[in-house]
Structure 1
Amino acid sequence: MTRAAGLVPAAYRPALAHRTFRRLFLGLAGSYLGDGMSFVAVAWLAIELAPQHTGLWVGAAVAAYTLPGALGALLLGRWLRRLPAPRALLADNVLRAVFLGAVPLLWAGGLLDPTTYVVLLAVSSLLHAWGSAATYTLLADLMPSEHRLAANTLVSTLTFAATIAGPAVAGVLVSSVSASYVLGLDALSYLFLAGIIVRTSWPTAQSADPVDRAAARGGLALLRGQPALLGLLALTWIFNLLYGPVEVALPLHVTDDLHASGSLLGLYWALFGVGAVAGGLAVGALRQLPLWPVTLAIAVGWGLSLVPFGLHAPTALTVACFTIGGAIYGPFVPLSVTLMQAESPPEHLASMLAARSAALLTASPLGTALGGPITAALGPRATLGGSGLATMALAGVAALVLASRKGDR
């Protein structure tokens, strides 16, 4: 035990020594693994249900799995902000478990059609933004301030780790059984986390509400007076918007262009996760680099990793590029947050970060929703390559704006 503890970096030992944190960490690990499997299964089941017009239905399904969470964050705040964080997290997990669990039951009974499927996904995701916010609120309540960064990093790394294991498992399962049963496993993972929440004694809440519309509106007003930060938010929002079509086009690229099985789709996402974990852990080495140039370089690098799809490159090359793309993509979020922390007035940082979270809740899901008709019109390869070129163009425009601001100064 002592030798194993010695392998853990010192910064993470206090968090892992906290019994309640370990219980929450275990529950989140199971839940995130289920989400990782759904990363493949949601799109694959849409393909099974709608062999015609697959691009539109895949886009609708992937968007329904995420986009309603943004609506729930804004529309249900009056009621949900009064809930303690454990109850908000429990409500999200129970809702996800019930409606995702209905998918394999209806499939087995021959009652599942594309419209019903999209509705079930949409309802299941309605509270997910609140559940995510409640998770980090619990971490703030559990850990003293000097250990919160380590706890947040451990939980954030789980997401990318689940992107490694989940798609690999799901890729094998959807090739042998219906993808609906993979979503059933995701539902069970939410029940697992819900059980841990119910059986754990949580501390009295001390932190502020995780999502607050008033704070978000105030933060947006403050951002309008900070052109650099408003530009950073715009860059991050568009970057995430342009990423959205990838989640629609990639499964269709595997099925329509390559005529391959779900195992290949799982391999793409698993290796993306490997790259993202490696890139995220390497962020510490980038601290001494200028953050704006590094952030723009990440946008260019991610765009370049998608271009080979549009050039009809061999599958082995696109798999390698997508892996490298994961390593490039992984650090973008922590670097953009660090940049906002560095340039925000300290007294307004919380409001500005709240505004950032509220705005970004819509970006990737909206891009995913648009990805359906775009992929149907252009085809998967052109959509993937076009997303890469558009992301590179975004970085170029941002670089020109930064250069002009420096010239004005």
Structure 2
Amino acid sequence: MAVETRNWSYWRVLRDCRVWVLLAGDLVSNVGDGMIITALPLLTLRIHGGVPAPLAVAAVEASPYVLATVLAFTVGLTRLRIPPRALIIVDCLLRGGVLAALGLLAMADAITLPVLVCGLLIGSVFRLVGMSARRLAVTAMAAPEGRLAANGLLGTSTSLAIYAIGPVAGGILAAGHNPGIALLVDGASLVLLLAAAIVVTPQAAGSVDGESIPRSGLRILRRVRVTARLLVVVFGFNLFYMPIEIALPLLVRGPLGGDAVSLGLIWAGFGVGALIGAVLTGLLRKLPEQRLPVLIITAWAAVVLLLTVAPSVPYAVAAFFVGG
């Protein structure tokens, strides 16, 4: 007779000290990453020199994803497999060291735009696969009944740290000090995650119930057609989302007449909205699954249109809250 199991609550999952230690490291590092959402564009606007400001900001924002995306596709679509624990450790060491070095250069007013772009390009090689490795490690350590809650904790802490707490802290630091200090703090924020990966993450993290990780993501795309279609939708959505991150600091410093704290508050509005959305996700289960993504994408488009006519920073905060 089969025994029905119930999904664990957040608190039940957090009873495992290994899980909450790794989640704590993930949370702290995400706060650091959220800080440079506001600090990087502001630093770029200080050092762009003769390069047009929009192009300079675009280059800086895109550079962490170029080599990282190449590696992510290589790992995901081929048979190359790297243990999640190793990915987390390498990412922390490389990205933490590079961010700290860039922060020190910026605080000494010795950084240039090419140095910043190249540093972010090289330092973020393992960023995307490292973030995926965190999720694999946490879910592998949780019991089967706790995996849903573990994923929920990761998503909630990411929204809270990267888009709510981090941008405000980064804006305050950038307004009161050199924006480079936010990069230095971001690099330091990876120390706790590094220690958690070394101490509590098992060597075999990444396999689930004794099953090996699928050999090829390309095989999954071929077998499960809806996965390929969703990949196209997500790629297109993010393709048209990223220009918002480029335009927002220019909008704040230009038409809205805001400062670093204003930019942080707008991102915080987005983060709070995303956090509320994550908490209320369970209420959407009864809605048609195929129509819901279309509705969400359409609503986000409407929010962006509202943002283009924002007359003030509070209006922009409210618009981004709804978008989040």
Q: Common fold, TM-score beyond 0.5?
A: yes
Please identify which structure carries the higher helix content: 1
Matches within 5 A, 1:28-39: 28-39=26-37
User: What TM-score results when the alignment is normalised by the length of structure 2?
Assistant: 0.89
1:264-318 Cα offsets, whole Å, 9 max, x none, are: 0000000110000001111100101111222111111111111123235443322
Return closer, same or farther for 1:280/1:305 CA change in 2, 3 Å cut-off.
Answer: same
CA contact (8 A) 2:138 2:150 kept: yes
Return closer, same or farther for 1:10/1:84 CA change in 2, 3 Å cut-off.
Answer: closer
1:182-209 Cα offsets, whole Å, 9 max, x none, are: 0100000012211222233626443467
Whole-Å separation in 2 of the counterparts to 1:219 and 1:192: 34
What RMSD, in angstroms, separates the aligned Cα atoms of the two structures? 2.4
- What SS does the corresponding residue of 2:258 show, helix, strand or coil? coil
Return closer, same or farther for 1:132/1:122 CA change in 2, 3 Å cut-off.
Answer: same
1:328-387 Cα offsets, whole Å, 9 max, x none, are: xxxxxxxxxxxxxxxxxxxxxxxxxxxxxxxxxxxxxxxxxxxxxxxxxxxxxxxxxxxx
- What SS does the corresponding residue of 1:291 show, helix, strand or coil? coil
Deviates more, 1:121-130 or 1:99-108: 99-108
Deviates more, 1:310-319 or 1:92-101: 310-319
Return closer, same or farther for 1:209/1:115 CA change in 2, 3 Å cut-off.
Answer: farther
1:160 aligns with 159
1:180 aligns with 180
2:53 aligns with 54
Return closer, same or farther for 1:11/1:247 CA change in 2, 3 Å cut-off.
Answer: same
Whole-Å separation in 2 of the counterparts to 1:78 and 1:304: 34
1:299 aligns with 297
Return closer, same or farther for 1:209/1:156 CA change in 2, 3 Å cut-off.
Answer: farther
Return closer, same or farther for 1:272/1:77 CA change in 2, 3 Å cut-off.
Answer: closer
1:113 aligns with 112
CA contact (8 A) 1:141 1:203 kept: no
Extract unaligned runs of 5+ from structure 1.
Answer: 1-8, 327-409
CA contact (8 A) 1:59 1:248 kept: yes
1:97-155 Cα offsets, whole Å, 9 max, x none, are: 11111112222444310001001111111001221121122123211212111011101
1:249: Cα distance to partner?
Answer: 0.3
2:38 aligns with 40
Percent sequence identity over aligned pairs: 28
1:234: Cα distance to partner?
Answer: 2.1
Whole-Å separation in 2 of the counterparts to 1:294 and 1:217: 26
- What SS does the corresponding residue of 1:257 show, helix, strand or coil? coil
Whole-Å separation in 2 of the counterparts to 1:80 and 1:234: 22
Whole-Å separation in 1 of the counterparts to 2:83 and 2:264: 37
Letter aligned with residue 94 of structure 1: L
Whole-Å separation in 2 of the counterparts to 1:270 and 1:67: 26
Matches within 5 A, 1:310-325: 310-325=308-323
Matches within 5 A, 1:397-408: none
Whole-Å separation in 2 of the counterparts to 1:61 and 1:158: 25
Matches within 5 A, 1:3-402: 11-50=9-48, 52=50, 53-75=52-74, 81-162=80-161, 163-200=163-200, 202=202, 204-205=204-205, 206-207=207-208, 215-223=216-224, 226=225, 229-326=227-324
Deviates more, 1:156-165 or 1:131-140: 131-140
Over 6 Å off, 4+ runs? 76-80
- What SS does the corresponding residue of 2:286 show, helix, strand or coil? coil
Return closer, same or farther for 1:42/1:203 CA change in 2, 3 Å cut-off.
Answer: same
1:343 aligns with none
Whole-Å separation in 2 of the counterparts to 1:314 and 1:180: 27
1:75: Cα distance to partner?
Answer: 4.4
1:400 aligns with none
Whole-Å separation in 1 of the counterparts to 2:98 and 2:47: 17
Length, aligned pairs only? 313
CA contact (8 A) 1:142 1:203 kept: no
Whole-Å separation in 2 of the counterparts to 1:80 and 1:125: 22
- What SS does the corresponding residue of 2:25 show, helix, strand or coil? helix
1:176: Cα distance to partner?
Answer: 1.2
Extract unaligned runs of 5+ from structure 2.
Answer: 1-6
User: What TM-score results when the alignment is normalised by the length of structure 1?
Assistant: 0.71
Whole-Å separation in 1 of the counterparts to 2:201 and 2:227: 40
- What SS does the corresponding residue of 2:176 show, helix, strand or coil? coil
CA contact (8 A) 1:25 1:155 kept: yes
CA contact (8 A) 2:25 2:193 kept: yes
CA contact (8 A) 2:266 2:313 kept: no
Return closer, same or farther for 1:289/1:79 CA change in 2, 3 Å cut-off.
Answer: closer
